[in-house]
Amino acid sequence: MERGSRESFTRMGTLGIEEECFVVDETGRPTSGTDELVYEHDPPEILEDRLDHELFKFVIETQTPLIEAPEDARESLLEIRRALVDHATEHGYRIAAAGLHPLAKWRELEHAEKPRYRSQLDRIQYPQHRNTTAGVHVHVGVDDADKAVWIANELRWYVPIMLALSANSPYWNGFDTGLQSARAKIFEALPNTGMPTYFEDYEAFDRFERRMLETDSIKDRGELWYDVRPHTAHGTVELRTPDGQADPDVVMAFVEYAHALVEALAEDYEDGAEGYARDHRRELLDENKWRAIRHGHDAGFIDREMEGTVELGEVVDRECERLGIDGIKTVYERDSGAERQRRLLEEDGEDALCESLLLGTE
């Protein structure tokens, strides 16, 4: 039974970025191409062991190498994206990104044959059969296991903020859901997803992970699909919140924010804040997440002390000033991905919408 350990948490501030994207045809429509891109042809060297597919044959995942310094993150992301786009182009495909592909209809698309996914389809049934979602996952290294769990607990309040800013999936299965991030709601139908509960320390999380494995609730630790989690193999805190994004600048805004948040919370922990834990009720955090799903950039939230409310724009201004960042401010001030998708479809049609989702490499 493969498990992580306390000893994995050794380095502070490293980064890793995982992106789930869509394999599309020359018109930008979803197509089953990951068998060819993953199994039938050798990928570029930089993608070796960093390219895989997800549940559907039109969803593909990449991972950056370990990023030692934040200033190297953008070029590392772009190198992976360029290699993926080149690999796809060579074999007659294109690559797109969003939380959900607006024209994907799950009943018409093929599931992957990988035993892990076939097992999940058999166990989970309908919620997994329709799971055409794609997101961005950001790993930030933490040098102590208890610190990582404490940081993950604290990050729960920030999950809806990042989700609201990333909202990029209004359409699912061919219709407008009325949501800004339908991906988040579709994904929540799976077990072991959404907002995690509070864990007292690493031992509490480790007991939970072990119990889930020993009771056959999950087949491997990767099936703990919560919005934020300590990753017990990589020695990171992993934020799994944002919708997929075509624009690399938007992804980098979330990478910058995630890194700054983890570093700031690590400093709080080291200054003695470990004795003060915000054991927020999950129901209140879920309410904030729902507001992000429904309203995106227009969301307001129950504040961090759970006593009043605060608008997303106010949070963004405060966070940029507090953390010395500016990426999420730029993201907030432009149309959300969901708003842009709706406008493009209404004004210019499906072709323009599909073209807008093609993966950016500059």
Residue with tokens 């799994």: 240
Q: How far apart are alpha carbons 23 and 60 in whole angstroms?
A: 7
Q: pLDDT digits over 248-289, tens only?
A: 999 999 999 999 999 999 999 998 876 566 778 899 999 999
Domains and CATH numbers, the chain: 6-356 (3.30.590.20)
Report if pTM > 0.85. yes
User: Residue 275 has what pLDDT?
Assistant: 56
- DSSP structure string for 299-352: -EEE-TTSSSEEEHHHHHHHHHHHHT--HHHHHHHSPPHHHHHHHHHHHH-HHH
Regions in the chain scoring below 50 on pLDDT: none
Question: Both tokens of residue 123?
Answer: 């166990």
User: Residue 294 has what pLDDT?
Assistant: 98
* Helix intervals (H) in the chain: 34, 73-90, 115-124, 126-129, 145-155, 159-166, 182-187, 202-214, 248-270, 282-295, 312-323, 327-333, 337-348, 350-356
User: Residue 292 has what pLDDT?
Assistant: 98
Q: How far apart are alpha carbons 249 and 254 in whole angstroms?
A: 9
Q: Which of 41, 49, 261 is nearest to 138 (CA)?
A: 261
Q: pLDDT digits over 90-126, tens only?
A: 999 999 999 999 999 999 999 998 999 999 999 999 9
* Helix intervals (H) in 91-191: 115-124, 126-129, 145-155, 159-166, 182-187
User: Residue 2 has what pLDDT?
Assistant: 65
User: Residue 15 has what pLDDT?
Assistant: 98
